[in-house]
Structure formats: C-alpha cells, structure tokens
Structure 1
C-alpha cells in the first residue's frame, strides 16, 4: 500500500476556492479504482493549510490518480492558490493494524 500525506498552505483570500476544489477532488478520487481512502482537512493550528491523506493499493493506482482530470484541475490551480511551498510525503506500507481505543 502507498500512503501520501500532503500539506498545502493556501492564500487566505483563496481558501474558499481551494476548499471547493478539494471537496470535488476528494469525492472523485474516492471513486477511482485502487484508491483505498482519500481525505482532506484543514489544519487546526493554521486554518489556511489543507492536508490530504491518501491511501492507494499500489503505485499504478497512485499514477492513475495523478493522471486523472480532477487531480490535473488541482495542479493547474495551485500556483494561484498557494501561500508557500507544499510538503508531500510518500510512505510504502507493508502492513496495517487497526487499533482499538
């Protein structure tokens, strides 16, 4: 499994636009073959940062996602939305265990 965590600092006056794009991206990404889970949230400490948490079955699913029309829309809009450099981390995961709280 591949897990991505991405953080995007957004210009405050463009936050509503970025959240609209993120909402559509989440909805459409969760419909893709090979996507296990795809979520976005605003950061509690900095409400102008959108964080994406993505899980894919394999590298092919991730590649298909980056080639998708909805991802390309986000990528095209980013230069006008960003207030700084995004951070993106990719994790290769061999096993997952759900913890009970």
Structure 2
C-alpha cells in the first residue's frame, strides 16, 4: 500500500475556500479503483494548514492517480490557494488499510 501524508498551508484569505475548492478532486479520487482512503483534516496549531492522508492499493494505483485529469486540475487550482509549497511523506507500507491500535481499548462504563 502506498501511504501519503501532505501538509498544505493555504493563504489565510483562502482558508474558508479550501475544502469547497478541493471537493471535486476529493470525490473523484475516492472513486478511483485503487484508492484506499483520501481524508482531509486541519491543524489545531495552525488554522491555515490542512492535512491530507491518502492511500493507494499499489504503486500502479498511485501512478494512475497522479496521471489523472482531476489530479492535474487540482494541482493547478491549489497553486493559487497555497501560501507555500506543500510538505509530503510518501512511503510504501505493508497492509491494505487502517489497523486497530492495540495499546488503547475503550473502557466499559
């Protein structure tokens, strides 16, 4: 599985526009055959920073993603909204998605 984490720092004046702007990209990516997940969050420390966690079933699925029309369109759009070049981690990991964390289990109440 290819796991990718990307930090996008957006221009302050574009903060409220970011999620609506990337929604078509998000929806299209989630429909890709090899997409495992594609999830947006935002930083609690920097209100202008959004974090994207994404995974693809194989290197080929990841390659197809970056060659897609919706990827190219999103990169073009993002260039007008970001305040700096995004930071990325891109690694191949074993597994097919999220696993349960062994160290924390909800207590009965």
TM bucket normalised to smaller: 0.7 to 0.9
SS at 2:100's partner residue? coil
Question: Which structure has more helix as a fraction of its residues?
Answer: 1
What per-residue deviation string (whole Å, max 9, x for no partner) do you get for residues 30-70 of structure 1? 11010011111111111211111001101111111112222
Segment drifting more, 48-57 vs 77-86: 77-86
Whose radius of gyration is greater, 1 or 2?
A: 2
**Structure 1: which 5+ residue stretches go unaligned?**
none
1:99 partnered with 2:96:
no
Aligned to 1:4: 4
User: How far apart, CA to CA, are the structure 2 residues paired with 1:45 and 1:25?
Assistant: 25
The list of structure 1 runs, each at least 4 consecutive aligned residues, that deviate by more than 4 angstroms after superposition, is none
1:81 partnered with 2:57:
no
**Structure 2: which 5+ residue stretches go unaligned?**
none
Segment drifting more, 31-40 vs 87-96: 87-96
TM-score (norm. length: structure 2): 0.82
- Superposed CA RMSD in Å reads 1.6
TM-score (norm. length: structure 1): 0.88
Aligned length: 101
SS at 2:3's partner residue? strand
